[in-house]
Structure 1
Amino acid sequence: MKILVGFFALSIASLSFANANAKFSERKLGNGLLLLTSAENNNITNIGVLEVGNKVILIDPSPGKDRLRELEEIIRKSYEISDLHILNTHGHSDHSGGNDYFLALGATINEADFSSLETYPVISHSSSDKIFYHIESNTIFTGDVFSTNWHPTFYAGGVDGFVHAIDTILKVGRENSLVIPGHGEPAGKDVVKAYKESTLRWIERVGVLQKAGKTVDEMLLDRKLQRILRSLNFTNRPQFLPRSAEVRFVERTIAILDQAGDS
């Protein structure tokens, strides 16, 4: 699965025209789609600019406050700001934090349907997740429902919400659709399938260890659980997660299991 992520990264990189000093990586994916990636505090947010009919759609314009002017300048090279329609995969500030900036310049937040852009509401990472499928470029924007550089964060929808959201990604578009996560490198549907399988195995293993009376620290020493965690490291980073994130992932998984048990 890591090879597949690398293949898509290489394919996209060959279309990139960012210079070494730029704060953005600009990737032209064809058929009216521009993918912008910006980093702030090592947190990568994928931003989409789509041409849909005679409209321009800006997805998740949140590169950080100090980069909004540069994002504006990039967009102005090809588009009229007053023609922008903003869409967010969800309301968290790392995805919607630039909304007000572009609204002040004349953009609008438009939840209406657009030709060649399909919207699928789900509940997984947040209570208002949206998955966008751009038909012309065969590209799926998932927000934080799916990630290739972090552990799953399915805390709003629980296990059922997670499964429904991932299955939605797998059902829309085509088998060779490019899937753009909220954070991390784009990937193919094979990686999304592996992400689902590993997450469900993680939840099951945490449940087994919880019933055995293991503490969080003891769970993180479990070899099976660590193997599952490593299987979520699709970009093969030397250190996938800091210790604090591993602890939080276990704790939140336990909370989800407890909620399911109480229902």
Structure 2
Amino acid sequence: MAVGVLAFQGSFNEHIAALRRIGVKGVEIRKPEQLGDIAALIIPGGESTTMAKLAEYHNMFPALREFVKMGKPVWGTCAGLIFLANKVFGQKTDGQELVGGLDCTVHRNFFGSQIQSFEAEISVPHVADKEGGPPGFRGVFIRAPAILEVGSEVEILAEVPVPDKLKTSEVIKESQKVYPESLNKVIVAVKQGNLLGTAFHPELTADNRWHLYFIKMVNDQIEETETATSSGIIKAGDIYGLQDPKIELPIYLP
């Protein structure tokens, strides 16, 4: 089966290219009825308010919520993480509509504006155990959110220290009043059942391990609901493993 990528705005092409690199078909999703033809969905990074307005215009939110409730795997990156969160901190009253399902509180634009975007080496032991390769991952944070709090059923996959230059910002001071830990470090990747969320952009690197990790979530979900394991399962085996743990290919921005 194919994996859908919500394709209203943002880095959906980059996700489809990353899926192609590991031998998985990616499909652009813009209409509710298309969700019936895919095994899983990626909600990409982009401008979350614009994405939400377009999704609302196309009446996607009811279908997206139902897709999550059905137990289908969904991965939100950056703006997609905001979509999946049950609660968004710092949002204006009657702010953007959410899909929900992921028991966490996300602060949108926690790391600042577009010009404060950055890259950081992230420790990802759980993903490295599953997919091999180095214990670190090169995270690309573009006007990125951060996860301030998670529920008891949410597994934390990665955290990062807050850069010193941001600790004096009003955004972080505001969140620190409610979430004191957010001054020093924040969560940037989580998993809860069929849902995966990352505050950074794995699709903008040549390291395929997060996409492989998600495809294995898809495999697990299919195996739970189907007895046949030959024709309907996406294979994400050793042939997709990293050839060289030192990835030095350039990162590009959309």
**TM-score clears 0.5:** no
- TM-score in terms of structure 2 length: 0.32
- TM-score in terms of structure 1 length: 0.32
Mark the structure with the bigger radius of gyration: 1
Kindly indicate which of the two structures has a greater share of residues assigned to strand.
2
